[in-house]
Chains A and B, each alone.
Chain A
Amino acid sequence: MAPLVSTPLTLKHAVTALDNAEVLRIRNDFPILGLQVNGHPLVYLDSGATSQNPVSVLEAEQEFYEQRNAAVHRGAHSLAVEATEVFEAARESVARFVGARSNEIVWTSNATEALNLITYAFSNAGAGRGRAAAERFRLGPGDEIVATEMEHHANLIPWQELAFRTGATFRYIPVDDDGALRLEEAAKVIGPRTKILAFTHASNVLGTINPVETLVGMAREHGAFVVLDACQSVPHLPVDVKALDVDFAAFSGHKMLGPTGIGALYGKAELLNSLPPFLTGGSMITTVTMEQAEYLPAPQRFEAGTQKISQAVALAAAVNYLSETGMDRIHAWEAHLGQRLVAGLEAIEGIRVVGPKTGLERIGLAAFDVDGVHSHDVGQFLDDKGIAVRVGHHCAQPLHRRLGLVSTTRASTYLYNTTDDVDVFLEAVAGVRKFFGAAK
């Protein structure tokens, strides 16, 4: 029996989930979902990679360019003032969406940049930049950075590199054969030398929701900073960064109905204001001389140069869409779809689903191996029927290696997927091995 590391399903079922009728109405807001692909209605099951955009998001971006486009935080003309207002209102909306204050949300190009920003800010602190309050971010030989074996490369490589730059040691919490974090090992890996604990809230491959509270508890015991990769949680579950008590969190706009080119870094205000900046230049300073510069407080101190203004405005429209639908309801619906996916896949001969088995909590995605058929061939076969899935290692090579695989096929759902989408997908998967001669 695999250890149950997340909230039991029963708790989630207290919430009224969406249903197919409501999802069909929701789909009307997403023009792309009406496409025909290869002669079939599009069945989009790749929202874990990138989600689709409702009309309100597309219109928000267009409206900004048609009516308010100007540089923000500079210039005193009316458009510039208005652009600054909507830009900051967008920050307020996104901050509220994750339970943060607006000065705790830094815009980045994507989650990858957010995570890199933290690592380079830590490096800069180690190089002596920042005031005395930045001393605590200094890393060196003897210090340890801890991540997990299930990380996306974006929450893995930046930490490896930070360790290389500072002389700190990089360590990781292993996963078991079912892909759950080995908490007994976590208790050994996380210790007095741990300076940073970085882990994903929800795995983009396994669908596991990690026990944030337990892990944060272990980190706090040793005074380590906690960095949460929230890319697969913020779009799909109600997330309150204050309740989770993490120090930093990163998420990405295009996975939550927003546009590409924008992501966000959450950081506790006191920490962000002590960290030295990463990118430097215009719009992040107070006083500049020919010798040096003084920096604005967060978030501006991390937002050098012209910002992602229309994207921020569109992302705010996306979180409004999600909030109006209800994150708890979206979560419950996707949990339902996730169970249907896993149960259906497990019933097909020659399929191995990675991550939690049927009945154990997972987000609305499932990655799987098809015996005798490579994931690229699986994906090609499904694409021919208009079904869009992700194939490959999903930017998690070490995790795949741990599971004895090179690649998997992943179906990931969102609020606009019906049970029919899942069933059409399952029926198609059932024909894969026969087509490729891997089954009679």
Chain B
Amino acid sequence: MSSDLQQLYQQIILDHAKSRHGAGLAEAPAGDRVGESHMLNPTCGDEITLRASVHTSEGAHTVSGLSWEGQGCSISMASASVLHDLAKGMDRDELLKLVDNFREVMRSRGTVEADEEILGDAAAFAGVARYPARVKCAMLAWVALEESLLGAS
């Protein structure tokens, strides 16, 4: 087993791929704005439907919930699971910045370091950046989140 492969499939990713936090579309809290997005990776058929809700109070927009359902490879499923854990309770705009940061790391082919302080568990996906064919897998849920948040705004 090469270290690259172990770098790609870190235990945290394999664990998330199995436990799938946030899987199963959940009802949003009453009164919150909800957005939903369906994303498909046509090359492999990976698929996700992601629902995000935003609670607005005193001018602050807080992500109140993120749930999803889908099927796909361990990278895409783990990525959705990790995103669920990160998103809840975050400021909407901060979360969108986080998506940008994640995208930058993913598209960097390994030249941009993942900052664990910022990305938390999502930093474990840094190894994906070295495999351009898998970047879409890692990004699937994140792109769906962007669209969902747009719908919830």
B137 touches A376 (CB 8 A): yes
List CB contacts (< 8 Å) of B1-54 with chain A: 1-2, 4-5, 8-9, 14, 17-18, 43-47
Q: Which of A39, A377, A437 has the most CB of B within 10 A?
A: A377
A259–B45 Cα distance when bound, in Å, is: 29
A384 touches B1 (CB 8 A): yes
Is A392 interfacial (CB 8 A cutoff)?
yes
Residues of B within 8 A of A39 (CB): 2
Residues of B within 8 A of A381 (CB): 5
CB distance from B129 to the nearest CB of A (A): 14
Q: Could you tell me the dominant secondary structure of chain A's interface residues?
A: mixed
Residues of A within 8 A of B75 (CB): 376-377
A436 touches B74 (CB 8 A): yes
B residues with a Cβ closer than 8 A to A are 1-2, 4-5, 8-9, 14, 17-18, 43-47, 71-75, 131, 134, 137
Is A65 interfacial (CB 8 A cutoff)?
no
Is A380 interfacial (CB 8 A cutoff)?
yes
Is A407 interfacial (CB 8 A cutoff)?
yes
Supply 20 A–B pairs (Cβ within 8 Å), ascending by A.
Answer: A38-B4, A374-B44, A374-B73, A375-B73, A376-B73, A376-B134, A377-B74, A380-B9, A384-B2, A384-B5, A392-B43, A392-B44, A406-B44, A406-B45, A406-B71, A435-B1, A436-B9, A436-B14, A436-B17, A437-B14
Residues of B within 8 A of A400 (CB): 45
List CB contacts (< 8 Å) of A355-413 with chain B: 373-377, 380-381, 384, 391-393, 397, 400, 406-407
CB distance from B141 to the nearest CB of A (A): 15
List CB contacts (< 8 Å) of A254-294 with chain B: none
Residues of A within 8 A of B47 (CB): 406
Residues of B within 8 A of A436 (CB): 9, 14, 17, 74
Interface bracket on A: 20 to 34
Q: Which of B45, B75, B134 has the most CB of A within 10 A?
A: B45
Q: Per a CB cutoff under 8 Å, which of A375, A380, A384 touches B134?
A: A380
A residues with a Cβ closer than 8 A to B are 38-39, 373-377, 380-381, 384, 391-393, 397, 400, 406-407, 435-437
A407 touches B8 (CB 8 A): no
Known: A380-B134, A381-B5, A437-B18. A392 touches B74 (CB 8 A): no
Residues of B within 8 A of A38 (CB): 2, 4
Tally the A-B contacts, defined by beta carbons under 8 Å: 54
A11–B131 Cα distance when bound, in Å, is: 45
A397–B14 Cα distance when bound, in Å, is: 27
A283–B127 Cα distance when bound, in Å, is: 53
CB distance from B52 to the nearest CB of A (A): 24
Residues of A within 8 A of B8 (CB): 380
Residues of A within 8 A of B134 (CB): 376, 380
CB distance from A384 to the nearest CB of B (A): 4
Among residues of B, the one whose C-beta sits closest to the C-beta of A393 is: B45
With A373-B74, A380-B131 already in contact, 13 other A-B pairs whose C-beta atoms are closer than 8 Å: A374-B44, A376-B72, A376-B73, A377-B9, A380-B9, A380-B134, A381-B5, A384-B1, A391-B44, A392-B44, A406-B45, A406-B47, A406-B71
A172–B71 Cα distance when bound, in Å, is: 28
Among residues of B, the one whose C-beta sits closest to the C-beta of A39 is: B2
A377 touches B44 (CB 8 A): no
Q: Per a CB cutoff under 8 Å, which of B5, B14, B18 touches A380?
A: B5
A302–B2 Cα distance when bound, in Å, is: 51
B44 touches A375 (CB 8 A): yes
Residues of B within 8 A of A392 (CB): 43-45
Residues of A within 8 A of B72 (CB): 374, 376
Residues of A within 8 A of B1 (CB): 384, 435
Residues of A within 8 A of B14 (CB): 436-437
Residues of A within 8 A of B2 (CB): 38-39, 384
Residues of B within 8 A of A384 (CB): 1-2, 4-5
Residues of B within 8 A of A373 (CB): 74
Among residues of B, the one whose C-beta sits closest to the C-beta of A38 is: B2
A84–B46 Cα distance when bound, in Å, is: 48
Known: A376-B137, A377-B74, A437-B18. A407 touches B44 (CB 8 A): yes
A374–B72 Cα distance when bound, in Å, is: 6
A380–B127 Cα distance when bound, in Å, is: 13
Residues of B within 8 A of A435 (CB): 1, 9
CB distance from A438 to the nearest CB of B (A): 9
Residues of B within 8 A of A397 (CB): 45
Residues of B within 8 A of A391 (CB): 44
CB distance from B69 to the nearest CB of A (A): 14
Among residues of B, the one whose C-beta sits closest to the C-beta of A391 is: B44
CB distance from A130 to the nearest CB of B (A): 36
A374 touches B43 (CB 8 A): no
CB distance from A409 to the nearest CB of B (A): 11
A435–B8 Cα distance when bound, in Å, is: 12
Residues of B within 8 A of A393 (CB): 44-45
Residues of B within 8 A of A380 (CB): 5, 8-9, 131, 134
Residues of A within 8 A of B17 (CB): 436
Among residues of A, the one whose C-beta sits closest to the C-beta of B8 is: A380
Among residues of B, the one whose C-beta sits closest to the C-beta of A397 is: B45
A-B CB proximity, top 7 nearest: A374-B73, A376-B73, A384-B5, A406-B45, A392-B44, A377-B73, A377-B74
